[in-house]
A = this chain, B = another copy of it.
Amino acid sequence: MAPVNGNDPNGGRQRGVTIIDIARAAGISKTTVSRVLNGEAGVAPATRTHVTEVAARLGYRANTAARSLRTRSSALVGFLVPHLNEVFSQQAERLSLELRHHGVDLVISTSDWDPVAEVEIVERMASRGVDALVLSLTSDRNPDVARLLKTIDPALVLLDREVRGIAADTVLTDQSGGVEGAVAHLVELGHERIGLISMTDVNRPGREVPAAWRRAGERAGLDFGPELNVALPRFDAASGASATGRLLAADVTAVIACVPEAAIAGVLFDLRDRGVSIPGDLSLVGYHEPVLASAKEPRIAAITRDYGEMGVIAGRLAITRLANRDQRPRIETVGTGFVPASSTAPPRRS
């Protein structure tokens, strides 16, 4: 039998079983009940089993809000991503799972690649009282965000981002392995004019990828001019298509597209519309290919990394940070690799 509660003063939600109800039913103090429920040591085994039993019988469920208020911790982590595409979804799923193992839930919000929305979202999450905030910022060069991050309470984990003045736990991607692999592969096939579609320099991959590409070119004795690098501010199909046009005009024989899948789709559509065949007329390297896409030809060679792992690492960083907020910031690096496929071939001799 559920205990009879006083008549509800609140028009709203149901009252629910509290530790006081358990205490009464067990003829014991709520302090001890709390101790049992939290698995603290120093409770007589008999008491423990009894309380556990009563709690189960009454269908007790802890009130998280009350606990949060008292302990100043919400067991909630926020995850801010630009967009829930396959890459970020995968990160989210693994991050969520990792956190769940530690009794922590994940609040997700998308900015739709809008730096202004990002500020609002971070603000919201801070006010929500998340214990930690995992950030895949659209722009890590936005001074408003940088300023905001200094004033908020949650622990921070940056996902392949570097914010000036913020020394936070970070999961970095080392782009060099993948990019150099791709360039080396293309050079070996005989390509010299290797175009790059990248993100703009407002976030770390947008800075690191072009740098790695240029380095790799130099290593191969090639000087990649700026006309070979198109930096996209947006990642819809139209942007991808326009980048393709610019690179074809620059006489590239190969393109490395380190941008989200929606933009790469734009590249593919545009090439098809122009009658440019892959890899016959143009070699293409992408940046992760969804499984369903990879089931069709040409399979896109890709610079890739383990997104799920990034989520797991972010989760671990968050959890360990919460256990000890005073430790110094840690940086974990995830490598990238080049996965060859049927989308590359020797350049057409003209």
A107 lies within 8 A of chain B by Cβ:
yes
In the complex, A12 Cα to B321 Cα: how many Å? 12
Interface residues of A in 59-91 (CB under 8 A from B): 59, 61-66, 68-69, 71-74, 76, 83-86, 89-90
A144 at the interface (CB under 8 A from B): no
Contact A290 B105 (CB under 8 A): no
* A106 and B108 within 8 A (CB): yes
A107 contact set on B, CB distance < 8 A: 76, 105-108
Q: What's the minimum C-beta distance from A276 to chain B, rounded to whole angstroms?
A: 13
B residues less than 8 Å from A127 (CB atoms): 61-62, 64
Find chain B residues with CB under 8 A from A293 CB: 290, 292-293, 295-296
Instruction: Answer whether residue A306 sits at the interface, using C-beta atoms and an 8 A cutoff.
Output: no
Which B residues are in CB contact (< 8 Å) with A109?
Answer: 96, 100, 105-106
Q: Across the interface, do A13 and B72 meet the contact criterion of CB distance under 8 Å? A: yes
Count this chain's copies in the assembly: 2
Quick check: A65 and B62 within 8 Å, CB to CB?
A: no
| Residue A10 at the chain B interface, CB threshold 8 Å | yes
Interface residues of A in 195-216 (CB under 8 A from B): none
A269 within 8 A of B: yes
The residue that A297 contacts in the complex, of B12, B85, B292, B296, with Cβ under 8 A, is: B296
CA gap between A292 and B237 in the complex, in Å: 10
Question: Quick one: closest B residue to A16, CB to CB?
Answer: B153
From B13, B100, B262, contact of A291 by CB (8 A):
B262
Chain B residues whose C-beta falls within 8 Å of the C-beta of A61 in the assembled complex: 123, 126-127
A74 to B296: give the CA distance in the assembly, Å. Answer: 46
* Contacting residues, chain B, for A74 (C-beta < 8 A): 64-65
A14 part of interface (Cβ distance < 8 Å): yes
**CB-defined contacts of A151 to chain B, threshold 8 Å:** 59
A264 within 8 A of B: yes
The 0/1 profile, CB within 8 Å of B marked 1, for residues 249-278 of chain A is 000000000000110110011001000000
Contact of A13 among B13, B14, B153 (CB under 8 A): B153
Question: Is A128 an interface position by the 8 A CB rule?
Answer: yes
Checking B93, B110, B292, B294 against A83 with a beta-carbon cut-off of 8 angstroms, the contacting residue is B93
Chain A, range 153-199, C-beta contacts under 8 Å to B? 153
Sample of 8 A–B contacts (CB below 8 Å): A14-B153, A61-B127, A65-B129, A84-B92, A107-B107, A262-B291, A265-B291, A292-B293
Known: A86-B89, A96-B108, A261-B292. 7 other contacts (CB 8 A): A10-B72, A64-B74, A65-B66, A86-B86, A272-B295, A296-B296, A296-B298
